[in-house]
Amino acid sequence: MSLEKTESELISKAKSGDPAAISKLYQMHARSLYRFIYYKVSNRQDAEDLTQDVFIAAFAGLPGFRGEAKFLNWCYEIAKRKIADLWKEKYQMPTVDIEVIVGLHTVDMTADALAERDAEDQGHVQAAETVLEKLNGNYRLVLEYRFLKNYSIKETAEAMNITVSNAKVLQHRALKKASRL
């Protein structure tokens, strides 16, 4: 019996709620999925948590699995979304209202509320500037292009005279280092 046929039978059984089939699918793919996730997040705890989250989502969504791709490939796609969610959560940057930047204020805010918001926004700006000052050359530069000047990754690469892939790697490393600061 081929591996594909065995996996197909396991998926059918798992769809009907067979715990042995679910366990076998997990055992077949957990190591590969964990390695994939660990490579992306470089943190054992996050990789373990995400692997668990992916399998929970995969088994919960199993009735919708049509078998157009291999089960592991389907899990990889779920993992990519979970990893993206993790990065969004970890590296969520504070926002500053455009009104504060250009000096405009809305009418419905009281003077105290405006002063409080301005102080809070100034604190965020100062925190961002402090972090940027602590970053070395290219790390600071890539973040300035991407987030202060709002350049695309391609524009950033061109401005820095590097490849797009290199710009992506620099941005990832810079964000990682900035989050530690």
CATH number at residue 163: 1.10.10.10
d(CA 150, CA 154): 11
State the pLDDT confidence band at 58, using cuts at 50, 70 and 90. Answer: very high
**pLDDT tens profile 148-165:** 777 888 888 888 899 988
pTM above 0.75, yes or no: no
**pLDDT tens profile 132-151:** 777 778 888 887 777 777 78
**pLDDT tens profile 65-89:** 888 889 999 999 999 999 998 888 8
**DSSP string across 152-164:** -HHHHHHHHTS-H
Token pair for residue 107?
A: 């009418």
48 vs 124, more confident: 48
Final residue belonging to a domain, choices 46, 67, 90: 90
Instruction: Yes or no: say if 79 and 54 are a contact pair by the CB < 8 Å rule.
Output: yes
CATH number at residue 40: 1.10.1740.10
Same domain, 76 and 8: yes
Final residue belonging to a domain, choices 38, 59, 90: 90
Token pair for residue 3?
A: 């591996």
Same domain, 171 and 113: yes
Residue type, 158: E
Confidence (pLDDT) at 48 = 94
Final residue belonging to a domain, choices 90, 114, 129: 90
State the average pLDDT over residues 30-42.
Answer: 93
State the average pLDDT over residues 159-177.
Answer: 86
Q: Residue 132 is part of which domain span? A: 98-180
Question: What is the number of structural domains in the chain?
Answer: 2
Same domain, 102 and 164: yes
Chain mean pLDDT for the chain: 82
| CB proximity list for 145: less than 8 A, separation 6 or greater | 151, 155, 156, 159, 160
Same domain, 71 and 124: no
d(CA 155, CA 164): 9
State the pLDDT confidence band at 112, using cuts at 50, 70 and 90. Answer: confident
